Structure 1
Amino acid sequence: MAALIEGYLADPFTPGVGPVRLWGRELLDRDPDWYGSEEAIAIADAVVRYQSYQGGWPKSTDLARPPLTEGDVPRAGDGRANSLDNDATTVPMAYLARVATATGDFAWRAAFNRGLDYLFAAQYDNGGWPQFWPLRDGYYSRITYNDDAMVNVLNLLRDVASGEAPYAFVDDKRRQQAAEAVARGIDCILRTQVRQDGRLTAWGAQHDENTLAPAWARAYEPPSLSGNETVGILAFLMSLDDPSPDVIAAVDAGVAWLQEVAIEGQRLDLVHNPDGRLERIITPDPDAPLLWARFYELETNRPLFLDRDSVYRYDFSEIGYERRSGYNYHGHWPAELLADDYPAWHELLENHN
């Protein structure tokens, strides 16, 4: 059996190999009894040590490994602290809630509640959340659907508002605040759904926090409709109890758009170049499963591909190797939602009515 080493597991299979990273979303799927174990508590202790003064957590940080020095904890201004990106803040909070429920320890509850207060403070009046708070200059302050940042917050707050385990310890005031924040977040989602000639379609990866229009992020991430982030938004809307007519209309329209823009007869391949590098290419294949682009042009629904020069290109082969093979411009993200989740959701609605 692996031994616990400062919040890590020693590799039990390879002698001489050091600790194996533990931190990740998969830690939220353990048996409830595990969260009261020595191993789980050691990880929770490390997680708390990364919480910022404002109450958030850093992105792209191994929270299972205790910081050895003060400099190991990301600080404001270093590009990682106080983020909702890459599962930051929401996953640490969900983990601490599980340990708090299993142990009854006040320290984990207090850290979780500080995280809640951070999320409440970070929400815009229009209901959206930025990628970082306190706000940073640039695209980091846009309403961020990218990588499900805002959806992760909404899923967490919805569960907190329910009062069910592992969030039953949350006080009534914060539970009510969570419910109100979710309501504002849903309103923001409905208001940011893009219309084309008056018809509802999909969402961008990020939206301007003032105009609510799709906005630029990095140089190769243009204002556009997203074949990826739209899926997470729809999944959240379909998870709501007793959805309003506006929510139902938003889901139906988003699904219709995904069906409309699906790419047929093209297969995404990863091939070895003669120089040994792996490269993504598109290959014609009439039997290929449906494919979607990450970005679609706002007015035309044409798939968009950009290098770091921010020039719009409509042929995947026209962008350079670095972005073509270093960024996910294509994926099968909507496949399960369209084939299974959406039909099941509609069946539930019909049976409920």
Structure 2
Amino acid sequence: MKRLIAIPLTCALFAVQVGAGETERQQALATMQSMTRFFQSEIATQGGYLWQYSHDLTRREGEGLATESMIWVQPPGTPAVGMAYLDAWEATGDSLYLQGALAAAGALVWGQLASGGWDYRINFDPAASGRWYYRRDVEAGDTDIGERRDTSIFDDNVSQSALRLLMRVDAQLEQTDDEIHGAVQYALRSFLQAQYPNGAWPQRFVEFPDPDEPFVGDARYPETWSREHPQADYRDYYTFNDNAIADVIDVMLEAHRIYGDDSFRDAALRAGDFMIRAQMPEPQPAWAQQYNHNMEPAWARRFEPPSITGGESFGVLRALLDLHIETGEPRFLEPIRPAIAWARRSLLPDGRLARFYELHTNTPLYFVRDTYELTYSDADMPTHYAFKVGGLGRIEGVENALQRIEQEGRQVLLAERRQRFRGSLSAEDDEQVRTIAAAMDERGRFVEDGTMRPDERGQPRIEMQVIRCRTFVRNLQTLTRYVTLSSAP
């Protein structure tokens, strides 16, 4: 899967030292190289990555157990690592990082599904990979899906993060790599076709909705709803859960910036209009995690009831702010102040928000550990899910963004978001470089205390020393920021 191609040097922003501490800058560059060489030579599988590894690489996992032939698409897996490599390439011009990004992109191209997106994981084992139906199968003339899996996932930023990396690599290569460019165009067409006529996207898809399907207008409360999980299939619901639609909007706006095709911008605008229609009426002018096709809040998993969400409502607010900043359309700001007023009056005593608020009453909803009985008590909640989320800080973040738009104008914020790294360096940044360098061992590893999944379900996690992709990405981005800003005039 190694990809060796000509590199357009005009795409890289070569770093020259101007004014930051030269010792720390050289230390940052050396640390970046060492950690990247280890990750590419010892951790990567066909250019891709999981989430976490035992220090001796005998155990591997993504969101679930993994084998040596598997990589994970869901962040902080392959796309997250690939993006960190691209940032490092732009800051240094060192082809080590670009080749890492190309390898990650190649792994994603290999695992692209016939439906156009990606599953949570990719398995390179020949026997195991036969359980999926890939784009390359279709292009080879294989038109019988049989029992193979072809479900593209929008949940958890899976397909969105994969496509975002491929688009960015495609832009760096000036669209000269036919495999990568072809994968991008195929995925973008699929994302457009997967959009419902009302502007929403589902949590996942295999087939595309009828573009002429009539749809209900504004969100409404259901006449009744069961307090017990109905075991219904929710995968085609209009889904804000885990910021699915907001993340697709990000992809569409980025695609418009890169390729200039107005169909991508139009898709983002339609999704924004859906967000406006999906805002629930007073006294709860926020959003549900998911809606059925009658535009009513609906059950998803057994711990995700019909409700108003203090969590994903902020993903919607972020997307509406982004759409206004990108387009200047004032309609995207109109839902924000009522939603923020609802959030303020819904705060828990500790300044957080409940993930779920009961329809009509606005009473926080929770579940009982083990039985998953819906309850008003937070005394014995399951621990695998965030039933309480950030509140006051996120409210203030949205209010500050609104204030800046009003006082400084959206163009200022638009210019800021075009900058990958902003600000200036301080003594604290110098110390961060030294701390990261000291935490890396002689092999280029960041080994830390952690736990790994057991082989059998239901058993406790195993305490051991681990290597985390999340730590790698965070450290590489921190060092890249330092190098970038130390090069700024």
Query: TM-score scaled by structure 2?
Result: 0.57
Which residue of 149, 152, 160 maps to 1:82? 152
Give 2:126's aligned residue: 69
2:170 and 2:180 in contact (8 A); partners too: yes
Letter in 1 for 2:394: L
1:24-39 aligned at under 5 Å gives the runs: 24-30=79-85, 31=87, 32-33=89-90, 37-39=98-100
Letter in 2 for 1:188: F
In percent, how many aligned pairs have the same letter? 23
Letter in 2 for 1:141: D
Q: 1:14 to 1:341 in 2, by over 3 A?
A: same
Q: 1:8 to 1:147 in 2, by over 3 A?
A: closer
Q: 1:96 to 1:251 in 2, by over 3 A?
A: same
Matches of 1:12 and 1:179, distance apart in 2: 39
Q: 1:43 to 1:302 in 2, by over 3 A?
A: same
Question: 1:51-70, CA deviations, whole angstroms, 9 ceiling, x for partnerless residues?
Answer: 111211112x1x5xx61215
1:130 aligns with 2:197: no
- Displacement of 1:184 in angstroms is 1.1
Give 1:190's aligned residue: 276
Give 1:292's aligned residue: 353
SS at match of 2:382: helix
1:181 aligns with 2:267: yes
Name the structure, 1 or 2, with higher relative contact order (CA <8 Å, separation 6+). 2
Greater Rg, structure 1 or structure 2? 2
Which residue of 383, 396, 405 maps to 1:339? 396
Q: 1:35 to 1:114 in 2, by over 3 A?
A: farther
Give 1:160's aligned residue: 255
SS at match of 1:239: helix
Matches of 1:81 and 1:221, distance apart in 2: 22
SS at match of 1:57: coil
Which residue of 222, 227, 235 maps to 2:310? 227
Q: 1:261 to 1:214 in 2, by over 3 A?
A: same
Q: 1:71 to 1:194 in 2, by over 3 A?
A: same
SS at match of 1:204: coil
Matches of 2:96 and 2:318, distance apart in 1: 28
Matches of 2:125 and 2:341, distance apart in 1: 51
- Displacement of 1:342 in angstroms is 2.3
Listed as ranges, the gaps of 5+ residues in structure 2 are 1-36, 60-67, 72-76, 134-146, 209-231, 411-489
- Displacement of 1:93 in angstroms is 0.5
SS at match of 2:338: helix
CA-based RMSD of the aligned residues comes to: 3.2
Give 1:272's aligned residue: none
SS at match of 2:299: coil
1:58 aligns with 2:119: yes
Matches of 1:351 and 1:312, distance apart in 2: 46
Matches of 2:150 and 2:386, distance apart in 1: 22
Question: 1:252-302, CA deviations, whole angstroms, 9 ceiling, x for partnerless residues?
Answer: 11111111111014xxxxxxxxxxxxxxxxxxxxxxxx1111100110111
- Displacement of 1:350 in angstroms is 3.6
Matches of 1:214 and 1:138, distance apart in 2: 14
Matches of 1:304 and 1:189, distance apart in 2: 23
Q: 1:118 to 1:35 in 2, by over 3 A?
A: farther
Q: 1:47 to 1:131 in 2, by over 3 A?
A: same
- Displacement of 1:237 in angstroms is 0.9
Query: TM-score scaled by structure 1?
Result: 0.77
SS at match of 2:294: coil
Question: 1:176-222, CA deviations, whole angstroms, 9 ceiling, x for partnerless residues?
Answer: 2111111111111000100125xx611011011x2212111112211
- Displacement of 1:245 in angstroms is 4.1
1:160 and 1:178 in contact (8 A); partners too: yes
Matches of 2:162 and 2:305, distance apart in 1: 30
Q: 1:111 to 1:264 in 2, by over 3 A?
A: same
SS at match of 1:304: strand
Total equivalences in the alignment: 308
Which residue of 365, 372, 387 maps to 1:329? 387
1:109-148 aligned at under 5 Å gives the runs: 109-134=181-206, 138-148=233-243
Question: 1:105-139, CA deviations, whole angstroms, 9 ceiling, x for partnerless residues?
Answer: 12111101111011111101111001111259810
Give 2:343's aligned residue: 258
2:114 and 2:150 in contact (8 A); partners too: no
1:213 aligns with 2:270: no
Matches of 2:53 and 2:97, distance apart in 1: 22
Give 1:6's aligned residue: 46
Question: 1:71-98, CA deviations, whole angstroms, 9 ceiling, x for partnerless residues?
Answer: 3366377778311112221111011112
1:216 and 1:223 in contact (8 A); partners too: yes
Matches of 2:276 and 2:403, distance apart in 1: 19
SS at match of 2:300: coil
Give 1:277's aligned residue: none
1:102 aligns with 2:172: yes
1:135 and 1:141 in contact (8 A); partners too: no
SS at match of 1:110: helix
- Displacement of 1:234 in angstroms is 0.4
Q: 1:309 to 1:15 in 2, by over 3 A?
A: closer
- Displacement of 1:36 in angstroms is 6.7
Give 2:333's aligned residue: 248
Matches of 2:272 and 2:339, distance apart in 1: 15
